[in-house]
Structure 1
């Protein structure tokens, strides 16, 4: 197998195949949970708490903020970061990406199970809560991906050793 030309990214991003697999596993668990509750006649006992949606959204905002700070530190200011801190941030990014994908799948399955019975108040409430949770989970997954990307070490600038990133020809080039 031939080596690709040029330097490779320092961090391998989580593959889309893995993200989709996490979403499918989440959908399977979400479906199985509420299908099991229906079998035992307990589907009316389980409500989707709004606090879960708020918690997912708050975690997404925190991870998004960490992604911004990490990107600014590594890519804009071109500063180094302690190895342990960088690894922890990368692990957090990968974890929130996969957790967000799994939650999207799980809550989507729960919402889809409620769709045929929207005329009743309880399934309608469950479908709305699941829809909100899907949106919050998508934001969580995106924040995780952004943090993962922020942890990549930027490629070395061209051989212009004395230039700062804003002075490099490609950074301010408005033509082509």
Structure 2
């Protein structure tokens, strides 16, 4: 009998605990943030070449991201209170919906934060009329995108339930 390659720890965990989801990895978040950073940084020179003007960041963008972060934060708090304080089980569909929402918002939030930080970075050292405004609003939008990531990860953590084998 020929033995195959040794099993990885992930496969072993999957056999022991089927159907268990892992938390969103820091590597995935960093990867999406890096893609956003490069994209945001490239947006400024490409837009000026194509349209002769770079996009303006209005207050609507950071406010929309802050609204998403507030909704995620409230959902995380209510979920945590329901699962961990009141010791109630979530309906499986609701739990999966919240986990999918949390993961999607964490990844998109990282992309948006990186994009706005990259766009802000492209305006450093530029001396034009709206450069300071674009730089400051992009930084604020990047921080709001980071708030989306943090609250999404809090929601994901709030959905965690202890299994019988977990220690206190």
Same fold (TM over 0.5): yes
Distance 2:117 2:125 in 1: 14
Residue 19 (structure 1) aligned with residue 25 (structure 2): no
Counterpart residue number, 1:81:
90
Q: Runs of 4 or more off by more than 4 Å in structure 1? A: 1-4, 7-10
Distance 2:58 2:162 in 1: 41
Distance 2:88 2:161 in 1: 10
1:79 CA displacement: 0.5
Counterpart residue number, 2:43:
33
5+ residue gaps, structure 2, are: 1-6
Distance 2:76 2:120 in 1: 30
Picking from 100, 106, 112, the partner of 2:121 is 112
1:157 CA displacement: 8.5
1:142 CA displacement: 0.1
1:77 CA displacement: 1.4
The answer to whether the 8 Å contact 2:41/2:120 transfers is: no
1:86 CA displacement: 0.6
Picking from 83, 99, 102, the partner of 2:111 is 102
1:10 CA displacement: 4.4
Distance 2:133 2:154 in 1: 32
1:41 CA displacement: 5.2
Of 148-157 and 71-80, the range deviating more from structure 2: 148-157
TM-score under structure 2 length normalisation: 0.83
Aligned-pair RMSD on alpha carbons? Answer: 2.2
Distance 2:45 2:33 in 1: 18
Change (3 A) 1:74 1:11: farther
5+ residue gaps, structure 1, are: 159-169, 171-176
1:155 CA displacement: 3.5
Q: How many residues align?
A: 155
Counterpart residue number, 1:70:
79
> Any idea what the Cα deviations from partners look like across 1:78-126, whole Å, max 9, x if unmatched?
1011111111100110011111110111001100000111x43311110
